[in-house]
Chain A
């Protein structure tokens, strides 16, 4: 700052004498009073014992600091008052201290003890403020004291003090980066804090101290997501930005599913082909399997990824522009393409805000429009320019409009541009002309229109406008010069008038480049230019030389002398570039005895075809910077910018985000384990297997590989688990195979053989096999009897019967067997993921299941006489979803499937059958559901608490969920007596409906009422294995819980269902055509359901 402005400041200060803080000070009256004298006065006031005087002095000192004047020599006098009773004096002393402590380190130490005392104060607010000031004093000596204070405050009872501790962390870090490791410990501790007050501040500290330690976030990820909405707005911004980065490292790209899907599907098919026998019946089964796999294979968003997207979305409604922008960039970088659109509306809303906000938002919108144009197209008009907008906003809006231009809206945009050209703001007009040029290059249809418009501008009175037009026309002409020799002629005439160097240079270049199109004019232009050569700007001179050279090469007869003249002039030019160029060109084009090999190629050099320039947005590729960041705005990496990582190829282990047991529960669980040690002999007796001493020490979660019989063996070392997976796969095969009636025995043998190859030495396993076989035969016998009855009832083809049978198998068996035997069997079967049939042990389930069985049978008997394939809802191969992996569940694994049974307690609920397997060495007790978090309207009917699930046993339970006809997940905690697991159930859309029976006429009638918006149809090519009616029926009914509607035509398959909650009709039609082409039509009142169903069915039919 110059001396004069300092003088002004002085005056400014003294002119405000009238205010109280100066009022009592006689010395401040004039500019002549020396600082020295004035400070003496202040010192006196500070030393007095009247608070009022002290306050007065402090106010004046603070006013000095505010004006940027040095008040450091008062330090000793001020620092004495740090313990003053008066709060305002104290506060002002703090302000002073923080400002000058760095300069007067020794004296500053005098105040430290006061703050140390403050740290112990019973009042949380005093503790907090003491820590705040202490940490703000930048004196290296007190680093250990600060460290201690921060550590203590981090475990303070009061969240406010903890928040202050979080704030203090970056302060200490900037003072002494050596403390990083210790600070990270504190950060780790504070990250685990559950209060909203702390969350924002600690993430801020995390970002400043250790942004690379992404591993610290894992355990807190879900908590942060859930707290987010209640955190204060500034914290939200920081957390959202951090989570964006986190998500990029932990989840898969949601937009690559298509390619992945194809690969995955194909690979599995071949696997199966090689693995299985040549049975013709297998064909169908394989299809079912493949379709099931196809459903599993395509990109499934990690529930944690979904959680983040869901929890940030409401924040688009925040009043804080920074929060809205943060969410917008999160969606842009993380959300599936289809969902990004939601941010457009919110961003457009920000355009109503202050011009600085507009500036930043428009920059980001400009970048987004390049990648996702469609998103902002509906808001085109919001980017129209008003004459009152500041120029920088106008130019950014223009950029956005240009990016949004396409064939359909270009005429409106050009009409807008026409008005802009008349604006008084010439910079803006120039930018508009550039924008027109870009539209013309991007959209071929309007190129001629634009060119004509620009040519008209050439007669504009404003030279800047003309010049800019010339430059743009030059670029456009370069694309198709042949057509436009008139324009070139017209421009040649302009050289007489236009004075703007850039425009003159452009015209000369054009004439030189296309001199063969204007053979008569070109030499004349050169003649004129040669005359005025000495008065031209450098850039024009260079182009004159250029023109001369080109003409010499094409038309040396007429222009030889002119060229010589120009080159001679240039030779003695002041500018060395021009001299240089002249020398170079002379050597190149004028053949002399010395001229080198190059002169032969002169023509090629000068008259080579130049590629047309590509007019690109300056915002292209800016999105490699995280949107909304300073670096993005500047298009340069700012200090401390954290790169946005690329998506990982394969997702890292999602279980790292599972939350640990709080310490106290761990302790208690250990105690309980000890108790169990006592109990153990009892169990081992009954099982007759495990040695009590062995299992006592084995950790259920780590699976230390102890030799206890239970599953901890399996979940232990990686090789083991691999094996178990393998065997589980083969078990799945078994599962399928069981359903095969004809070949069953042979297959079981074969399977046994293959099993024994894998792990034959294990006695236990062999035992199991035998048992399994037994159970198979049992279930088969059940099946047989049932299928016989249904066979006699239904008059349908075999395959359908088969389908029905599969259903029967997948249903739990009626609890006819003696309980004891069953239990024994289970303990032998404990080994792994053998879960084709949920075991029917638990009584509440039994009642329910038998109920459903009865209704099923009723349905059958009802349908028998009337029908036909229609009523049968073949729910073959129920797909199992994992709810809780046994590793994250510490031995407890839970899977669920949608049983497609009516949920008897509440008809509006979808029945979810859960299969619990306790793989741990210890019993699990009190399995129940807690803390259900649902979208509004959704309801859950919990299953009855499972009191005891002994080690190694499995059980099933059924719960009902009313999903409210949406595919929103139901989140809840699954609690055992020791642990709580966050889990969520997300239904595929096909499970949100139940079959209804309609006749053909009814179907047609209903369909005709659901036309227009409610009808969605898609053309598709059926998968090669899915060209017959059965296959189609099977695939559709697998994908969605619909029932078939009878139909006269064999070219059409129709299906009907109702959504579970609202009972809206869902009608689906697959009309097959030649060559596997088909049309899928879904009619549903609920358009969302309809759209999603179409997507799912398409997938099922094409894969």
Chain B
């Protein structure tokens, strides 16, 4: 399975290596660097590279390449999924997963990697088990450790690996018992030039933060479970129960986790929360282009559209943009040609607009492509599909927990073609 792991930063340096079987020379990464050079964009490095003796499978997260070295047949997704799990664990432990954070915590990283794989085969990937084995570093603990010389390694043995619910720690205790659920939906859409929707779908997740004492057994039911077309569960969810009754029944892991991700059935029409009026033109022969963009709310069910961020990759011929936003601020990066406009909240009475001119390379012919506009936005207290949680019940423990449910809608990959 996974033979070795190399961590490569954006400038092409290997800053960490770990071997689970015999040592593979880091020169194997040269093949990776070659591929990296060939790729124009960092994300265009092929995830699977074949070399004479090894295969390199890599993922790019937070501008770090995680390059796994494989020697024989293994499902590529197996490795990719595992590498992402590693990154998620680092993020969970250090808050961020940057080169600096990894270098600062190199020993913890090493201990984690040691526990996560045995001879290249995943051993403990549940964050709850790992946290029992290796305590995440906190500022306080680091200080205490420095002074007293005590350790990050858990004193007690990892009993979680033995339990029937491997995702939950045993002996969890809280003074305030609380369970929060965030229903977050994202709209993926492609809107064409004329403003009609080419494709639109809603993907949602339910993220949970559960801090409950003991071994609670929760059930969560929806008012309209029929909306959910395709779902994937955290392993804690009892599948049979969902199949039969459309109720989520589970013993939750401790802390933050993703309970469910779902896709809303495509029969339902997707409400598009904003519309964009655009007029981006380049005239032949002139070194000027017009840029005119207006945003407005469309189907928002009376809720405010917030945190709107518009970004667009302008054609290479554009030298600079001289624009005037009616609200918010805009930036234009003349190197990457990326235009971003931080709009903020849309006020239906006074629609935000961004107008002005673009200066083009003199003499060059007009660019024949039109930029795509990507939009990010947030709508609080609403799930755009109309999904509603009916009730949340707890069994197995005596106390009364505090329960909270929050809805939010975001734009996912929301693109407007011009």
Interface residues of A, Cβ cutoff 8 Å to B: 1, 5, 8-9, 12, 16, 19-21, 23, 50-52, 55-56, 59, 62-63, 65-68, 86-88, 91-92, 94-95, 99, 102, 123-126, 132, 135-136, 138, 158-160, 164, 167-168, 170-171, 174, 197, 201, 204, 229, 232-234, 237, 241, 314, 317-322, 324-326, 345-346, 348-349, 352, 354-357, 359-361, 381-382, 384, 386-388, 390-392, 416, 419, 422-424, 460-462, 628-631, 633-634, 636, 638-642, 936-937
- The one of B82, B104, B190 in contact with A16, judged by C-beta atoms closer than 8 angstroms, is B104
- B172-206 contacts to A (CB < 8 Å): 188, 190, 192, 198-199, 201, 203
A86 to B84, CA, bound (A): 32
Instruction: Give the docked Cα–Cα distance between A461 and B282 (Å).
Output: 15
Contacts of A392 in B (CB 8 A): 44, 46
Q: Which of A136, A319, A390, A630 contacts B76 (CB 8 A)?
A: A630
| A residues near B58, Cβ cutoff 8 Å | 356
Rounded to whole Å, the gap between the CB of B206 and the closest CB of chain A is: 12
- Taking a contact as CB atoms under 8 Å apart, the answer to whether A318 and B151 are in contact is no
List, in ascending order, chain B residues with CB within 8 A of A123's CB: 157
Residues of A within 8 A of B234 (CB): 319
Please provide the 8 A-B residue pairs with the shortest distance between their CB atoms, ordered closest to farther. Answer: A52-B149, A640-B72, A88-B151, A381-B199, A88-B153, A387-B372, A641-B73, A356-B47
Contact at B103–A12, with CB atoms within 8 Å?
yes
CA gap between A19 and B30 in the complex, in Å: 31
Contact indicator B152/A88 (Cβ below 8 Å): yes
A51-B149, A634-B50 are contacts. A66–B18 as well, Cβ < 8 Å?
Answer: yes
Q: How far, in angstroms, from A314 to B241 measured CA to CA in the complex? A: 12
Can you name 10 A-B pairs with beta carbons within 8 Å?
A91-B111, A125-B159, A318-B233, A319-B232, A322-B78, A357-B80, A360-B77, A381-B198, A628-B75, A630-B75
Residues of chain A within 8 A (CB-CB) of B146 are 20, 23
- Taking a contact as CB atoms closer than 8 A, the residue among A132, A135, A326, A354 that contacts B80 in the complex is A354
Residues of B with C-beta under 8 A to A354: 59, 61, 80, 84
**Which residues of chain A are within 8 angstroms of B61 by Cβ–Cβ distance?**
354
**By the criterion CB–CB under 8 Å, are B14 and A629 in contact?**
no
Chain B minimum-CB-distance residue to A16? B103
Closest to A320 in B: B81
Given contacts A91-B114, A384-B190, contact A390 B119 (CB under 8 A): no
Could you say which of A65, A68, A319, A642 contacts B73, with CB atoms under 8 Å apart? A642
Please give, as numbers and ranges, the residues of chain A lying within 8 Å of B18 by CB-CB distance.
66
Let me know if A5 and B166 touch, CB within 8 A. Answer: no
**Can you name the residue of chain B whose Cβ is closest to the Cβ of A91?**
B153
Whether a CB of chain A sits under 8 angstroms from the CB of B370 is: yes
Q: In the docked arrangement, what's the CA distance between A1094 and B417, Å?
A: 48
Question: In the bound complex, do residue A9 and residue B15 qualify as a contact, i.e. CB atoms below 8 Å apart?
Answer: yes
**How would residues 9 to 48 of chain B score, 1 for a CB under 8 Å from any chain A CB and 0 otherwise?**
0000111111101110011010000000000110110111
Closest to A23 in B: B146
Contact with A along B392-413 (1 / 0, CB 8 A): 0000000000000000000001
Q: Which residue of A lies closest to B133 (CB)?
A: A91
The residue on B at minimum CB distance from A102 is B22
Contact between chains at B59 and A349 (CB < 8 Å): no
Determine the chain B residues whose CB is within 8 A of the CB of A634 once the complex forms: 48, 50, 55
Q: Which residues of A are found within 8 Å of B111, using beta-carbon distances?
A: 91-92, 95
Query: Do residues A460 and B75 form an inter-chain contact, with CB atoms below 8 A?
Result: no
Give every chain B residue within 8 A of A237 (Cβ-Cβ): 75, 78
Do residues A388 and B370 form an inter-chain contact, with CB atoms below 8 A?
A: no
Closest approach, in angstroms, between the C-beta of B25 and any C-beta of chain A?
Answer: 9
Please judge, given known A-B contacts A345-B230, A360-B47, whether A321 and B77 are in contact too, CB under 8 Å: yes
User: Min CB distance, B138 to chain A, in Å?
Assistant: 13
Q: Is the interface of B mostly helix, strand, loop or mixed?
A: mixed
Question: Chain B residues near A424 (CB, 8 Å)?
Answer: 313, 315-316, 369
Chain A residue at minimal CB-CB distance from B369: A422
The answer to whether B17 touches A68, judged by C-beta atoms less than 8 angstroms apart, is yes
The reply to whether B73 and A234 contact each other, CB–CB distance below 8 Å, is no
- Minimum Cβ distance to chain A for residue B153 (Å): 4
> Quick check: A639 and B72 within 8 Å, CB to CB?
yes
Say yes or no for B357: interface residue by CB 8 A criterion.
Answer: no
Please give the distance in Å from B331's CB to the nearest CB on chain A.
18
Q: Which residue of B lies closest to A15 (CB)?
A: B103
Chain A contacts of B232 at CB under 8 A? Answer: 317-319, 324, 346, 349
Q: Which residues of A contact B140 (CB under 8 A)?
A: none
Asked if B70 is at the interface (CB within 8 A of a chain A CB), the reply is yes
Q: Are B109 and A160 in contact (CB under 8 A)?
A: no
Partner of A317, one of B161, B192, B231: B231
Query: Separation in Å of the B229 CB from the closest CB of chain A?
Result: 7
Cβ distance B54 to chain A, nearest Cβ, rounded Å: 9
Please give me the residue from chain B that is nearest to A378 by CB atom: B266
Q: How far is the CB of A305 from chain B (nearest CB, A)?
A: 21
Enumerate chain B residues within 8 angstroms of A59, measured Cβ to Cβ. Answer: 107
B166 touching A232 by the CB < 8 A rule? Answer: yes
B-side contacts of A642, CB under 8 Å: 73
Q: Is B415 in the interface zone, CB < 8 Å from A?
A: yes
19 other contacts beyond A66-B18, A125-B159, A345-B230, with CB at 8 A cut-off? A5-B14, A21-B107, A67-B15, A67-B16, A91-B114, A167-B119, A167-B123, A234-B122, A319-B233, A319-B234, A319-B261, A352-B203, A354-B80, A356-B59, A359-B46, A359-B48, A390-B41, A629-B76, A630-B70
Q: Which of B48-76 contact A (CB under 8 A)?
A: 48, 50, 55, 58-61, 70-76
- Chain B CB within 10 Å — which of A241, A319, A349, A937 has the most? A319
The answer to whether B47 and A99 have CB atoms under 8 Å apart is no
Q: How far is the CA of A638 from the CA of B73 in the complex (A)?
A: 5
Residues of the A chain whose Cβ atoms lie less than 8 Å from the Cβ of B203: 352
The answer to whether A387 and B313 have CB atoms under 8 Å apart is yes
Question: Given that A5-B13, A21-B107, A419-B417 are known contacts, is A360 also in contact with B240, CB under 8 Å in the complex?
Answer: no
Q: Smallest distance from the beta carbon of B77 to chain A beta carbons, Å?
A: 4
- Cβ of B263 < 8 Å from any Cβ of A? yes
The reply to whether the CB of B235 lies closer than 8 angstroms to some CB of chain A is yes
| Contact status B110-A66, CB under 8 Å | yes
Q: Name the residue in B18, B118, B370 with the highest tally of chain A Cβ atoms < 10 Å from its Cβ.
A: B118
| Contact (Cβ within 8 A) A633 B44 | no
Residue contact A384 to B73, C-beta cutoff 8 Å: no
Q: List the A residue with the shortest CB-CB distance to B260.
A: A319
Pick from B43, B235, B313: contact of A233, CB under 8 Å: B235
Report if A360-B76 is in contact (Cβ < 8 Å); known contacts: A422-B368, A630-B55: yes
Residue of B nearest to A171 (CB): B119
Among B73, B125, B240, residue most surrounded by chain A Cβ atoms (within 10 Å): B73
Q: Is there a chain A Cβ closer than 8 Å to B244's Cβ? A: yes
Minimum distance in angstroms from A22 CB to a CB of chain B? 10
A422 neighbours in B (Cβ, 8 Å): 368-370
CA distance A132 to B161 in the complex (A): 15
A50, A319, A419, A641: the one contacting B258 at CB < 8 Å is A319
Decide yes or no whether B106 CB sits under 8 A from chain A.
Answer: yes
Check A349–B263 contact: CB distance below 8 A: yes
- Of chain B, the residue at the smallest CB distance from A462 is B368
Q: Which residues of B contact A20 (CB under 8 A)?
A: 142, 145-146
Partner among B15, B258, B369 whose Cβ is within 8 Å of the Cβ of A12: B15
* Distance in angstroms between the alpha carbons of A55 and B315 in the assembled complex: 56
* A990 to B153 Cα, complex, angstroms: 64
Please indicate the chain A residues that have their CB under 8 angstroms from the CB of B76 in the complex: 360, 628-630, 633
Q: Which B339-376 residues sit within 8 Å CB-CB of chain A? A: 365, 368-370, 372, 374
Task: Give the chain B neighbours of A320 by CB distance below 8 A.
Answer: 81
In the complex the two chains form, is B413's CB within 8 Å of A386's CB?
A: yes
Instruction: State how many angstroms separate the Cβ of A702 from the closest Cβ of chain B.
Output: 40
Known: A59-B107, A234-B122, A345-B230. A390 touches B44 (CB 8 A): yes
- Give the residues in chain B near A391, CB-CB below 8 Å: 40-41, 44
Beta-carbon contact of B73 and A321 below 8 Å: no
Q: How far is the CA of A361 from the CA of B47 in the complex (A)?
A: 12
Q: In the complex the two chains form, is B107's CB within 8 Å of A63's CB?
A: yes
- Contact A19 to B104, CB < 8 A, known contacts A345-B229, A638-B55: yes
Q: Which of B55, B106, B239 contacts A62 (CB 8 A)?
A: B106
* B134-173 contact mask (Cβ, 8 Å, vs A): 1 or 0: 0000000010011011011101011101100010000000
